[in-house]
Amino acid sequence: MSGAAKIATFAAALGGVFCVIFAFLIVSQKDTFAAARDDYNTKWTSTKTELVATKKDLTQTKTDLTDKQAKLDETTSKLTSAESNLMAQQKKAGDLENLLKDKEAELARSKGQMDELLQKFGDQDPANLLSNINDLKAKLDALEGERKILDDQLQGAKQNVAMLEDALKRKDQGTMPPGISGKIETVNRKWNFVVLNVGVKDGVVPNGVLIVYRGNNFVGKVKVVTSESSTSVADILPEWHNADIQSGDSVLN
């Protein structure tokens, strides 16, 4: 065999070896690429799942924010209503006071007229004089009754004004008089608030904190959000949660 033939045969053999090695490398890389592809698909599936969960959480957060804003708007509306009610009660008290003064002046005039009649008609027929006196006395009694009714209404209006003024002064600080005692009427676990059977007339004001008991056991604390005349709404304070608050639990401060 010539030298050229030997070289050609060697080159062919060497080329065959390279082909085998190259084929082996391709098969090895194929497995590597397949593993990388599977890993990528797994991570992509996990990422899509996380994105769906994140989107769901974001939607719930937006819903919660909308509900909280609605509760805030409702509280603001009730506060505005309470202030308007206070102004109306103050006006009513002023009107009653003026009306009472008018009735007292009319009563004084009627008494003066009766005194004049006694002096002027003292020598008249006793029957006529007695009839006039009885008429005036009946008028005086009626005016006195009206005066008493107006006085009672005025005192009630002044008490309402004092109660509303006191509640408005205490609402910003959440200060409440000692000795408040009531019950949990209903519990809303979805929004984490309760309805109480005590309100402004009992001294309950927004921002005030009440302790919740069941028997002799401490259950938790609630913070008043809104307060009506005899009811109020309070948020459950999670940092003071010892057990689930239930309807019928007692509250006090």
Residue 88 and residue 96: Cα distance in Å, rounded? 12
Beta bridge partners of 209: 223
Residues 220, 120 share a domain = no
Note if the pTM is more than 0.75: no
Residue 209: strand, helix, or coil: strand
Which among 121, 147, 171 is the end of a domain?
Answer: 171
Residues 93, 190 share a domain = no
In terms of pLDDT, which residue wins out, 151 or 31? 151
Containing structural domain, residue 130:
1-171
Which among 171, 204, 234 is the end of a domain?
Answer: 171
Q: What is the mean pLDDT of the chain?
A: 81
Asked if residue 38 belongs to a domain, the reply is yes
Asked if residue 176 belongs to a domain, the reply is no
Asked if residue 214 belongs to a domain, the reply is yes
Confidence tier at 22 by pLDDT (50, 70, 90): low
β-pairing verdict for 250-252 and 181-188 = antiparallel
- Identify the pLDDT of residue 109: 86
- Identify the pLDDT of residue 172: 61
Asked if residue 195 belongs to a domain, the reply is yes
Chain segment 27-54, per-residue pLDDT in tens: 667 667 677 777 778 887 887 888 787 7
Calculate mean pLDDT across residues 80-105: 83
For the cut 90, the answer to whether the pLDDT of residue 107 exceeds it is no
Confidence tier at 232 by pLDDT (50, 70, 90): very high
Number of domains into which the chain is organized: 2
Asked if residue 14 belongs to a domain, the reply is yes
Confidence tier at 15 by pLDDT (50, 70, 90): low
Confidence tier at 173 by pLDDT (50, 70, 90): low
Residues 201, 166 share a domain = no
Confidence tier at 181 by pLDDT (50, 70, 90): very high
Residue 20 and residue 11: Cα distance in Å, rounded? 14
Residue 230: strand, helix, or coil: coil
- Identify the pLDDT of residue 209: 94
| CATH code, 194 | 2.40.10
Residues 189, 68 share a domain = no
Chain segment 191-209, per-residue pLDDT in tens: 999 999 999 899 999 999 9
Confidence tier at 246 by pLDDT (50, 70, 90): very high
Residue pair 93/157 in contact (Cβ under 8 Å)? The answer is yes
Residues 45, 164 share a domain = yes
